[in-house]
Amino acid sequence: MKNHPPRTFRDDRDDEKFMKIALKLSQRGSGFTEPNPMVGAVVVKNGKILSCGYHQAFGLKHAETMALENLTVPGTTLYLTLEPCSHFGKTPPCTDLIIAKKVRRVVVAMVDPNPRVNGSGIRKLRAHGIRTRCGPGGDWAAYVNRHYLKFIKTATPYVTLHAGISLDGKLTDDAGHSRWITSEQGRRYSHSLRGEFSAILAGHGTILADNPRLNLREPGWEGKTLYRVVLDSANTLPLSLNIFQEQERFPLVIFSSNAAANRKKKVPLHFFVRHDANGLVLAEVLEQLSKLGIASLLVEGGGRVLDSFIRERLFDEAAFFISDKIVGGRNSVQIFASGVTRLEDALELVDCRWSEYAGGTMMRGFRKCSPV
Ligand code: AOF
Ligand code: ZN
């Protein structure tokens, strides 16, 4: 057994500080790494950062490799937002590089639940006499990687509901129009939100009414691929719609009922699934999306689609853009038209964060008992 010096309070305080830097860094990969995680790495010696790295995009170098590959200094402390991998995947095990570079101490924010890692990275480092601490920044790390964590643990995409609603919870006016319930700035924020996800989903009604492109137009997402998922039970959407354009960068995935009269595939990723009284069976839709490697899904509406996801509790998070307008109207579409019968059954969102913008407020909150 090696004799390690006792850990001082100074060490602990620095661990939190450097892990925060690694976590901020990791988020630069947001939207580009899925279905793999965002990871940040910071290499420190004598209280100074010598190098750092982050996982930039799916299939590219792991964060640890980016931070260590050109480093020649031994005896460093390595801060990692996720346990290092110890398996041969698209890249060799990062633990081997950490050992070869004679890193003295490794601090990880959390264990990687990927069954191919799941503690083995930490065990390997310890077996080679590298002091390893797990935990600092763990809550933040789990929040940052919530898409990855749900997908790796349940093989189901992380689902976020997105809606632009009036102050009185309406998605449309009395005549059924939704343009524009939210302000210009709210719409820009909500477009940018799309970039954080692997896929975006909309129903047949929205596609016909708005003829949206469902693409990424805001700065910062250049080069990102985004799957567009459309629910079209009867398979009746005309090919002249905007959604059929730009399929190279924004692949189109269509789901129709296996009872549709027209069973002809309109795009290569056209799937026919079961249909019940409420529409397409969403669990089957999600299962198929997970087979495509889609780790996260932003559900953009319209009213019927949002209602189904809420009714079946098939969401993890909600991002609502609430405008400073009262719309009213008996025929206007509500956010959850089918509702609950008793107040005790109302859906509760937890850990809600509110931010203001010109003309409205954005709320992001989580479904209680989300499996993450
Ligand atoms: C990443 N980036 O910085 C780290 C990862 O298929 P591979 O070889 O890229 O391995 C993917 C797995 O490696 C991933 O699911 C996670 O368990 C582990 N760590 N992955 O993409 C990184 N550190
Ligand atoms: Zn790795």
Q: List pLDDT tens digits, range 353-370.
A: 999 988 889 999 999 874
Determine what percent of the chain is predicted with pLDDT higher than 90.
Answer: 76
Q: List pLDDT tens digits, range 170-187.
A: 888 777 777 777 767 777
For residue 82, which atom of ligand 1 is closest to its CA?
23
CA distance 176 to 142: 39
* pLDDT beyond 50 at 229: yes
The stretch 51-61 carries a mean pLDDT of: 96
Q: Is the CB of 149 under 6 A from ligand 1?
A: no
Q: Is the CB of 215 under 6 A from ligand 1?
A: no
Highest-scoring range by mean pLDDT, 10-14, 31-35, 183-187, 342-346: 31-35
Q: List pLDDT tens digits, range 246-297.
A: 999 999 999 999 999 999 999 999 999 999 988 999 999 999 999 999 999 9
Q: Is the CB of 273 under 6 A from ligand 1?
A: no
Residue 89, pLDDT score: 84
Residue 372, pLDDT score: 46
> Ligand 2 centre from 220 Cα, in Å?
26
* pLDDT beyond 70 at 2: no
For residue 94, which atom of ligand 1 is closest to its CA?
23
- How does the average pLDDT of the chain come out, rounded? 92
Catalytic residues: 64
Rounded CA Rg of the chain: 23
Residue 315, pLDDT score: 97
The stretch 162-172 carries a mean pLDDT of: 89
Q: Is the CB of 119 under 6 A from ligand 1?
A: no
Which residue's CA lies nearest to atom 9 of ligand 1? 90
> Ligand 1 centre from 83 Cα, in Å?
10
Instruction: Output the six-digit token pair for 136.
Output: 């600092």
Residue 7, pLDDT score: 52
Best mutation site among 55, 80, 85 for ligand 1, i.e. most ligand atoms within 8 A of its Cβ?
85
Domains and CATH numbers, the chain: 9-144 (3.40.140.10), 153-367 (3.40.430.10)
For residue 41, which atom of ligand 1 is closest to its CA?
3
Which residue's CA lies nearest to atom 18 of ligand 1? 85
Report in angstroms the alpha-carbon separations of 30 from 80, 139, 194, 234, 309: 16, 17, 11, 35, 25
Which residue's CA lies nearest to atom 22 of ligand 1? 62
pLDDT higher at 217 or 99: 99
Report in angstroms the alpha-carbon separations of 360 from 164, 321, 356: 10, 7, 6
To 10 degrees, the CA torsion angle through 17, 23, 352, 178? Answer: 150
Which residue's CA lies nearest to atom 12 of ligand 1? 36
* pLDDT beyond 70 at 76: yes
| pLDDT category of residue 9 using cuts at 50, 70 and 90 | very low
Residue 187, pLDDT score: 76
* pLDDT beyond 70 at 217: yes
| pLDDT category of residue 73 using cuts at 50, 70 and 90 | very high
Which residue's CA lies nearest to atom 21 of ligand 1? 36
Phi then psi dihedrals of residue 317, to 5 deg = -145, 155
For residue 58, which atom of ligand 1 is closest to its CA?
21
**Would you mind telling me the total number of residues written for the chain in this entry?**
372
The stretch 140-144 carries a mean pLDDT of: 97
Q: Is the CB of 300 under 6 A from ligand 1?
A: no
Distance linking the first and last C-alpha atoms of the chain: 38
Q: Is the CB of 153 under 6 A from ligand 1?
A: no
**Closest ligand to Cα 36:** 1
CA distance 372 to 368: 10
Which residue's CA lies nearest to atom 19 of ligand 1? 85
**Closest ligand to Cα 28:** 1
Residue 5, pLDDT score: 53
Q: Is the CB of 132 under 6 A from ligand 1?
A: no
Q: Is the CB of 39 under 6 A from ligand 1?
A: yes
Q: Of the candidates 352, 315, 25, which has an alpha carbon nearest to the alpha carbon of residue 150?
A: 315
Q: Is the CB of 56 under 6 A from ligand 1?
A: no
The stretch 13-41 carries a mean pLDDT of: 97
| pLDDT category of residue 113 using cuts at 50, 70 and 90 | very high
For residue 116, which atom of ligand 1 is closest to its CA?
17
Q: What is the pTM of this model?
A: 0.93
CA distance 226 to 344: 38
